[in-house]
Each structure stands twice: as structure tokens, then as C-alpha cells.
Amino acid sequence: MSQLHEADILPPWAWAEVRPARLAAMLQHQESHRVRLGDGLSVLFESRETVLFRIQEVLRAEGRSGRAQVLRELAEYGPLAPSDGALTASVFVDGGSPARARRLAKALATEPGTLMICGDVVRWSGRAIRGTEDPDAAVHYLRFPVARPPAGAVLALTLEGEQVTTPLPWGVTRLPAGVVALQRAV
């Protein structure tokens, strides 16, 4: 269930006032939650703040502000917010050869275990968030059934028998559960 609510969304005039500060803070926040994994793949671990920011920006870009539009965006993007017991990530297929990018996109959409968080003993497979399984998409949305990965956990990509690993971004492993990384600028 989404932890985002209609009351979390600022009206356009209020968003315009706080947007410059929120944008600067969001760029820093995303830097601590993003990791590059091999050729052509980057992963942004989502937070409540990244999803709220995305919704505000979609509403701003599309010139929407009515209740129906806000509820529609909450329904679309709300499932991307991490929940108790699960991390979520936006996975960007953004480079490499076009053929490899297509294979990678298809695997992310259809093969659980393509992207995993690996601890010393346990592995958590990233599974496509329902409704986002388009094998031709350049962005994929995954849910990992782990709230707080153990120290030393890595992100592993397995494709066509090859595996690439990288440490999880520090914002995912070092912030205590429940800590809000961005202050609300009001």
C-alpha cells in the first residue's frame, strides 16, 4: 500500500515557491541513492521523497492541479514508494549497444533474479512492480523484499551468464530505518 496521500502534494503556487530548494536537495539525495552497474545500467533506489518529487514535477510539467489529476498521479507513482519490508528502485537502461539494451530491458521486465541485492547468506530478487513490466521500456521499476540490507550487501546484475556487482549506494545502507533524508521546505 502506498504511503503517499493527497495531502502530501503541494498546490502549484506552493510548489513554485519551494521548488528551487527542493530541486537542489533532491539532486544531493538522489546522488546518495544512485549507483551505476556495468555498461548501460543505473539504479536509483527510491524514497518517499524521490517519489513525491517526481509526482510534483509531473503535475507541474503537465500543468495539472485538479484533485482527479493528483489522485491519478498518486495511483501511478505511489507504488514506487518503498514500504515497510521492501525497497524499490527505478532501473535505467541507458547505454551500451542497442541489442544488449533490449536484452537487458527484457530480462528486467520478465526474469526475476536478473537484479538482486546480495548479502553474505541471503539474496533478494528484484521483481517488477505490477503494471510496469514492459520489456521494451528504458526504465523499469522493481521491488526488493528487504527493508534494510545488511552491511556489505551488493547489487548484482546477472545477464546471459555474466554477473556484475557493485556496493549498494551509501544512502540505502547507512541511513537508519525511518530517517527522512530530506527536510520538508515549506
Distance CA 173, CA 176 (A): 8
Instruction: Tell me what pLDDT residue 163 has.
Output: 87
Task: Check: CB of residue 143 under 8 Å from CB of residue 127.
Answer: yes
Residue 163, CA atoms < 13 Å, CB-side half-sphere: 11
In the predicted structure, residue 186 carries a pLDDT above the cut 70 = no
Beta-carbon contacts of residue 31 (< 8 Å; ≥ 6 apart): none
pLDDT tens digits, 159-181: 888 888 988 887 787 544 433 33
Instruction: Tell me what pLDDT residue 179 has.
Output: 35
Instruction: Tell me what pLDDT residue 90 has.
Output: 92
112-135 burial: b if 16+ Cβ within 10 Å, else e: eebbbbbeeeeebebbbbeebeee
Task: Write down the domain spans for the chain.
Answer: 1-31+48-81, 35-46+83-170
In the predicted structure, residue 60 carries a pLDDT above the cut 90 = yes
Cβ neighbours around 19 below 10 Å, total:
18
Q: What amino acid is encoded at 148 in this protein?
A: R
Residue 54, CA atoms < 13 Å, CB-side half-sphere: 19
Instruction: Tell me what pLDDT residue 161 has.
Output: 81
Task: Check: CB of residue 145 under 8 Å from CB of residue 86.
Answer: yes
For the residues 37-66, what does the mean pLDDT come to?
91
Coil, helix or strand at residue 5: coil
Task: Check: CB of residue 38 under 8 Å from CB of residue 164.
Answer: yes
pLDDT tens digits, 112-167: 888 899 988 788 888 888 766 777 788 889 999 987 888 888 999 888 888 889 88
Query: What topology is assigned to 35-46+83-170 in CATH?
Result: Immunoglobulin-like (2.60.40)
